[in-house]
Amino acid sequence: MKHVSTATMREADRRCIEDLGIPGAVLMNNAGLAVFEQIHYGPVGVVCGKGNNGGDGFVVARLALVAGMDVQVVLAASRDEVRGDALTFLRAYENLGGTLIAAPEADDAAELVAGMRHRAVLVDALLGTGLTGEVRGTARAVIEAWPDTATIAVDTPSGLDTDRGIPRGCCVRASRTVTFQCAKLGFAEASAQPYTGEVIVADIGIPPCCFDDAAWQRLREG
């Protein structure tokens, strides 16, 4: 299993989207589909943040809704904080009749997530690999209230330092982590295992050359 750093993954994403011209929305939809394929029954709870990790979660919610599953979505932010591709997929979910509860306040978000304990599976789409510093505020309250329910993490368990494999103050304990294109460097550390659970690497359409500096240079030189 190939493990890459957060910086390498970020640059591969940039090359794929900005230089090759593969839309970020395509990658996001592929990511959400890969997570949804690990859900075999409902009811499903999806906990989303305001960023691209949350966008992946909105894709999961849409697919679960179309499949006829009972879906509950909690957005641990204000709805107007969601932008870009994530907003595109939030709207698609809502346009199909899906509903969500936006809970930007820590106490409200924590109560809603704790109340999901009777869902068959939870999807952790709160925080992604872009996390820096210690988890604080509403995100921390949500993680600390996370119920002991089967959980699938989107790309990484929320709160995990993906380079070092340790929590940034607190971290969701996932039953399974669906990570995209490559395993993250910190996943190889024993300290990460209680949080990642089983790790599944999903191909979301980023070409291998985006990770290989020599191959990338040859491509750019024509």
CA atoms within 13 A on the CB side of 111: 8
Can you identify the CATH homologous superfamily of domain 3-221? YjeF N-terminal domain (3.40.50.10260)
- Tokens at residue 47, please? 């906990």
Q: Report, as an integer, the average pLDDT of 148-158.
A: 98
With a pLDDT cut of 70, the percent of the chain lying above it is 100
- The Cα–Cα gap between 152 and 197 comes to 9
pLDDT at 45 over 90: yes
Token readout for 196 is: 């990642």
* Residue 75 structure tokens: 């957005």
Taken as a whole, the chain contains a residue count of: 222
pLDDT confidence of residue 222:
74
| pLDDT tier for residue 86 given thresholds of 50, 70 and 90 | very high
Identify any residues that bridge with 72 across adjacent strands, giving them in sequence order. Answer: 45
How many whole angstroms separate alpha carbon 23 and alpha carbon 17?
6
Q: What is the pLDDT of residues 170-187, one digit of tens each?
A: 999 999 999 999 999 999
Confidence of residue 132 (pLDDT cuts 50, 70, 90): confident
Q: Are 119 and 149 in contact (CB under 8 A)?
A: yes
Residues of the chain by 3-state class (helix, strand, coil), percent to 5: 45, 20, 35
* Poorest-pLDDT segment among 28-32, 133-137, 156-160: 133-137
pLDDT at 171: 98
**112 and 100 in contact (C-beta within 8 Å)?**
no
Q: What is the pLDDT of residue 34?
A: 98
The answer, yes or no, to whether residue 7 has pLDDT greater than 90, is yes
Q: Which helix (H) or strand (E) holds 74?
A: strand 71-75
Give the model's pLDDT for residue 74: 98
User: Region 149-171: what's the mean pLDDT?
Assistant: 97
CA 175/CA 156 separation, integer angstroms: 12
The whole model's pTM is what? 0.96
Query: Which tens digits make up the pLDDT trace of 188-197?
Result: 999 999 999 9
Average pLDDT, stretch 76-80? Answer: 97
Q: For the residues 20-26, what does the mean pLDDT come to? A: 97
Q: What is the pLDDT of residues 51-77, one digit of tens each?
A: 999 999 999 999 999 999 999 999 999
With b meaning 16 or more CB within 10 Å and e meaning fewer, what string describes 117-151? eebebbbbbbbbbebeeebeebbbbbbbbbeeeeb
Whether the bond between 194 and the residue before it is cis, its omega within 30 degrees of 0, is: no
Instruction: Quote the mean pLDDT of the chain.
Output: 96
Q: 3-state DSSP call for residue 34?
A: helix
